């Protein structure tokens, strides 16, 4: 039996990417540092209460395959918009354009589970799939993910989360 035989045909490729990241991946350091909250989603009073400096740290393992695509298994902890710790672990994928030895743009997605104080006081894991974009030069990347507005009501979602990634 192979490591990913349990996954079935539709998950087998992703399972092998996860295994490849762990066994052969580069070590990644993630540094979350800033969030931009949508100005039309939040009142000025609420914006003044929200934390934009999402300082934190993360660790991951990633692979750049033969096509130049990137995939990673990662975990992060950072200050959320309410100045509380947020814990996040997941998998990311991006395809890149441009020569590997120059500035490259990447687009993809991340699938993760997060624990937050405002969802069950860290007891209810919240799964999500979000878009992921980056600009990469060598082993350094500036990355961003967008949390869309979560309802018709103003006051939640519409956040651009920005972080750096360094590979070793």
Structure-block tokens of residue 120: 């069950």
Q: How many residues does the chain have?
A: 168
Q: Which residues pair with 36 in a beta bridge?
A: 160
Q: Which residues are catalytic?
A: 37, 80-81
Burial status of residue 134 (CB atoms within 10 A of its CB: 0-12, 13-18, 19 or more): buried
> Quick one: CA dihedral 103, 104, 105, 109, positive or negative?
negative
In this structure, the number of other CB atoms found within 10 A of the CB of residue 146 comes to: 15
Structure-block tokens of residue 124: 């209810």
Q: Which residues contact 113 (CB under 8 A, 6 or more apart)?
A: 88, 89, 90, 125, 126, 127, 128
Place of tokens 């405002």: 118
């Amino acid at each position: 039996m192979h490591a990913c035989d349990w996954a079935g045909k539709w998950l087998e490729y992703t399972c092998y990417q996860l295994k490849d990241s762990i066994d052969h991946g580069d070590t990644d350091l993630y540094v979350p540092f800033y969030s931009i909250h949508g100005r039309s989603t939040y009142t000025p009073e609420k914006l003044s209460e929200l934390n934009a400096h999402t300082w934190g740290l993360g660790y991951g393992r990633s692979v750049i395959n033969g096509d130049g695509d990137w995939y990673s298994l990662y975990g992060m902890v950072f200050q959320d918009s309410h100045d509380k710790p947020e814990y996040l672990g997941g998998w990311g994928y991006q395809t890149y354009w441009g020569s590997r030895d120059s500035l490259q743009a990447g687009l993809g997605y991340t699938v993760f589970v997060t624990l937050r104080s405002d969802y069950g006081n860290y007891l209810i894991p919240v799964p999500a799939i979000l878009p992921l974009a980056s600009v990469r030069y060598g082993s350094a990347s500036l990355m961003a993910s967008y949390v869309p507005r979560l309802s018709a009501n103003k006051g939640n979602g519409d956040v651009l989360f920005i972080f750096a990634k360094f590979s070793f």
